[in-house]
């Protein structure tokens, strides 16, 4: 167990809807990253937050947005869901800013878009 | 885009045998990490090797890094049924600037038969 929790575990939405996924970082970690993992693929970086600000972003459209709260928990919001958004969404927390050293991943949220 | 490419895509061995997985990447890196994923759940960090290191051990795991060939290998000795999982390499390539992300390969699915 990494101490990183995510909710919900599973989620089913229909195309065009909006979804919010939540992540609680490991205690003492101030940096959180979000990844999307399509079936049979490796995780792909969505964005990273540090001290409530977006620190970097991967190749994802603006309808993917995030928030980080003062307690370092985080949300991933996806608007106007598309079928291709069906994937496992992983968050990872770390204690070192500006570093890709060990990141601690949560169990993920599996999103299905119908 | 996928930076790392694992080889083979799938590997099936008997308990007690050794398992070797390879990873190739395209651009220069500061570090390379290996992660394990059970049944599409969260990623578990296994080992990190820095670009100035050639070999690293952790329990039954041995990782090598050849920066001249842009490749790494993960060896699991005396495999157990519980080692059955997908294994991913991840690099910090494309990091720097404001992006501090891990870039993953597609993974190797290891099956250890009892």
pLDDT tens for each residue of B38-62? 987 889 999 999 999 999 999 999 9
Residue B93 is encoded by which pair of tokens? 């390539």
| pLDDT tens for each residue of chain A, 114 residues long | 678 999 999 999 999 999 999 999 888 888 899 999 999 999 999 999 988 898 888 899 999 999 999 888 999 999 999 999 999 999 999 876 666 677 889 999 999 999
Q: ∠ CA B22-A105-B88 to the nearest 5 degrees?
A: 10
Residue B38 is encoded by which pair of tokens? 């059970």
Residue of A nearest to B92 (CA): A100
Residues B101, A48: C-beta atoms closer than 8 Å = yes
Query: Do B3 and B93 contact (CB within 8 A), yes or no?
Result: yes
Query: Do A24 and A36 contact (CB within 8 A), yes or no?
Result: no
For residue A35, which of A15, A58, A18 has the smallest C-alpha distance? A58
B56 touches chain A (CB under 8 A): no
Contacts of A106 in chain B (CB under 8 A): 42
The distance in angstroms from the start CA to the end CA of chain A is 31
Residues B101, A88: C-beta atoms closer than 8 Å = no
Contacts of B92 in chain A (CB under 8 A): 100
Query: Do B112 and B11 contact (CB within 8 A), yes or no?
Result: no
């Amino acid at each position: 167990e990494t101490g990183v929790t995510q909710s919900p575990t599973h989620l089913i939405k229909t195309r065009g809807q909006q979804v919010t996924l939540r992540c609680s970082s490991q205690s003492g970690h101030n940096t959180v990253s979000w990844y999307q993992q399509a079936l049979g693929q490796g995780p792909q970086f969505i964005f990273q937050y540090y001290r409530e600000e977006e620190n970097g972003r991967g190749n994802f459209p603006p309808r993917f947005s995030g928030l980080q709260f003062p307690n370092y928990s985080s949300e991933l919001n996806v608007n106007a869901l598309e079928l291709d958004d069906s994937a496992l969404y992983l968050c990872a927390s770390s204690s070192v800013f500006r570093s890709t050293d060990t990141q601690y991943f949560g169990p993920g949220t599996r999103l299905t878009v119908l | 885009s996928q930076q790392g490419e694992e080889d083979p895509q799938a590997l099936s061995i008997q308990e007690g045998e050794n398992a070797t997985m390879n990873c190739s990447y395209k651009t220069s890196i500061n570090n390379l990490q290996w992660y394990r994923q059970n049944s599409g759940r969260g990623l578990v960090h296994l080992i990190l090797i820095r670009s100035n290191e050639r070999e690293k051990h952790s329990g039954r795991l041995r990782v090598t890094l050849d920066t001249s060939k842009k490749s790494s290998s993960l060896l699991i000795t005396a495999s157990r049924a519980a080692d059955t999982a997908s294994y991913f390499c991840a690099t910090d390539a494309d990091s720097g600037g404001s992006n501090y992300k891990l870039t993953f390969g597609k993974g190797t699915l290891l099956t250890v038969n009892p």
